[in-house]
Amino acid sequence: FCTTAELLEIFADESVNARGISPVSLCDSAIVRTKVTPVVALGFSLGNGILTGPLDLFDTPLFDAPRLRASQQ
């Protein structure tokens, strides 16, 4: 299995934005433009039989640049 960081790195790539996909936080996931498809990522953790989460994985400034690129299409 890949790590969470490896999976999220895919959405920071410019080729994903070129396809009209934008990583957005859950609170910003409403579709306001028809050319951009918002994608959310929720993370859960399981440890010692306890499920914790969700954590909004795209709710970070690290994805501001990919969001900006997608919105400029």
Peptide bond into 23 cis (omega under 30): no
Q: pTM of the full predicted structure?
A: 0.77
20 vs 1, 45, 62, CA distance in Å? 26, 29, 18
Assigned token pair, 66: 């990919």
Per-residue pLDDT tens over the stretch 12-68: 887 777 777 888 898 877 766 667 888 899 999 999 999 999 999 999 998 888 888
Give the list of residues 6+ apart from residue 24 with CB closer than 8 angstroms, or none. Answer: 38, 39, 40, 58, 63, 67
Break the chain into its structural domains and give their ranges: 4-71
DSSP state letter for 57: T
Q: What is the pLDDT of residue 69?
A: 82
